[in-house]
Structure 1
Amino acid sequence: MVTIADRAAVLAFFADNDQVTEVLQKLAEKVTAAGVTVPGVTITEEQRAA
């Protein structure tokens, strides 16, 4: 069994992992849609053709 003892260290180790990026992207989209400001996130409006 593996137990995370230092969450920050584990996150730093996996920082460039695509799966972690996908999870962070989904979390950021969800909470920004609810009006929460997420540090390190840039929000751009999509322009749609008329």
Structure 2
Amino acid sequence: MQQIQQQILTEEQTKTIMNLKDQLQKKIKKEEEEVSNEITDVVYIVTKN
């Protein structure tokens, strides 16, 4: 019985970790896009002047 509970806990922890990993990857991608857009804006302003 204890082994089954441990297995269930491990599965839940694995799901939580995978979910956090996915969320972090999405956040990183979004921030990369924002930085890229900011760099593009700066380059445009610099080349315009």
Q: TM-score, normalised by structure 1?
A: 0.37
Higher Cα Rg: structure 1 or 2?
2
Higher relative contact order (CA 8 A, sep 6+): 1
